[in-house]
Amino acid sequence: MLERIKDSFTESIQTKIDAAEALPESIAKAAEMMVHCLLGGNKILACGNGGSAGDAQHFSAELLNRYEVERPPLPAIALTTDSSTLTAIANDYSYDEVFSKQILALGQPGDILLAISTSGNSGNVIKAMEAALSRDMTIVALTGKDGGAMAGLLGGGDVEIRVPSNVTARIQEVHLLVIHCLCDNIDRTLFPQDEQQ
């Protein structure tokens, strides 16, 4: 078991080293899109399943509260938290529509969907992307593996941040780092401070 634990650390570190080579440009582009969105008075909607639902909530909490810099709250909504809405949509329609119906209600042109899936194949995240596109929103997709069906839905104005790994847990571990990089970029672009490095 000790060996398995050490192997998990090694694998996680290696995935982050690989991601540090592959992802900075797409993370910077996503952060730029988010800054532009927020400066325009728009908001960011986030969704995902399981661990990725936690990531969506982690992201919205950093924006609504704060990341590292003292600054005003920024507008973001995790679509994963309202159990009444989620159960009603899943019960009356289908689980695939739990995010898309919320986006059709709340999404405005210029808003961003942060769509998180390690496989890129979660049906409700795919439907969320379709709903976002129908609302003239742009998409930042956090994926892994081969990008799945999500990769094929993205247009030129969207960005995919695909973690170079086939292991769900390792991909999730990098997704969290990517989310913190996005928050850091947003903070430092919108609220530059002398004492920041």
User: Residue 113 burial by CB count (10 A; 0-12/13-18/19+): exposed, middle or buried?
Assistant: buried
Provide, rounded to whole angstroms, the least separation between the CB of residue 169 and Zn ion. 6
Token pair for residue 73?
């709250």
Q: Which of 132, 131, 128, 92 is nearest to 111 (CA)?
A: 132
- CA distance linking residue 117 with residue 99, whole number of Å: 13
Which of the choices ligand I22, Zn ion, none does residue 118 contact, using the CB cut-off of 5 to 8 A by kind? ligand I22
169 lines the binding site for ligand I22 (CB under 6 A): yes
Please list every residue from 42 through 71 that binds Zn ion, using CB under 5 A.
51
50 makes contact with ligand I22 (CB under 6 A): yes
Is 118 flagged in the annotation as binding?
A: yes
Nearer to ligand I22, 49 or 60 (CB): 49
Q: Can you give the binding site for ligand I22, defined by CB under 6 A?
A: 49-52, 117-119, 122, 125, 168-169, 172
Q: Can you give the binding site for Zn ion, defined by CB under 5 A?
A: 51
